[in-house]
Amino acid sequence: MEDSNCKEKMALVEKLGVHLESRDQLAPVAARILSYIILTGKSGTTFEDLVHILCASKSTISTHLNHLLDLNKIEYFTKTGDRKKYFVINKDTVVQHVDKMISDWQELRELHLEIKNYKEFKNNAIIENDDEKFDLNFHNDYIKFIDGATKSIEELRTNLKNSQFSL
């Protein structure tokens, strides 16, 4: 790998690693392993590569690889005549993340709908002075945004499940 490309990749591994630490509540090394695997792609990466590139001990890499395998975030394949395992991202991990996003957005949508209905039918309906009534535009716009975002992410999920995209 070209030196500048390697530096760029490692900078992105760090940046993505920090994100994955908080999003997935992963240990720092596990997040860097996952990041490196994501950025390596279909060719996969080996245990030895991870030890060398991440400058971590064999036991540390092994512990975190096993943890990521247990979480089904990664999987591995082998090549005929080669005893090494090549680690790659588990495509289902992305689908599970998308499913969680959809679920969270639907919960948020229902909450905004309930708040909007409360304001509209329990407050605005009995308040005579228009200046004192709740403005419902924010809730309407937010619900519309969530509906659009959900439709878009559901399309991505369908494409992932149909393997139109590779990771």
Q: State the Cα–Cα distance between residues 59 and 65, nearest whole angstrom.
A: 10
Domain 3-89, architecture per CATH: Orthogonal Bundle (1.10)
Question: What pLDDT score does 98 carry?
Answer: 92
What is Dmax (Cα atoms) for the chain?
81
Residue 165 confidence (pLDDT) above 60: no
Closest Cα partner for 28 from 58, 54, 53? 54
Tens of pLDDT, residue by residue over 49-103, are: 999 999 999 999 999 999 999 999 999 999 999 999 999 999 888 888 899 999 9
Residue 159 confidence (pLDDT) above 90: no
pTM for the full model? 0.76
Closest Cα partner for 34 from 4, 23, 8? 23
Domain extents in the chain: 3-89, 92-161
- Residues of the chain with pLDDT > 70, as a percent, come to 96
Question: What pLDDT score does 4 carry?
Answer: 78
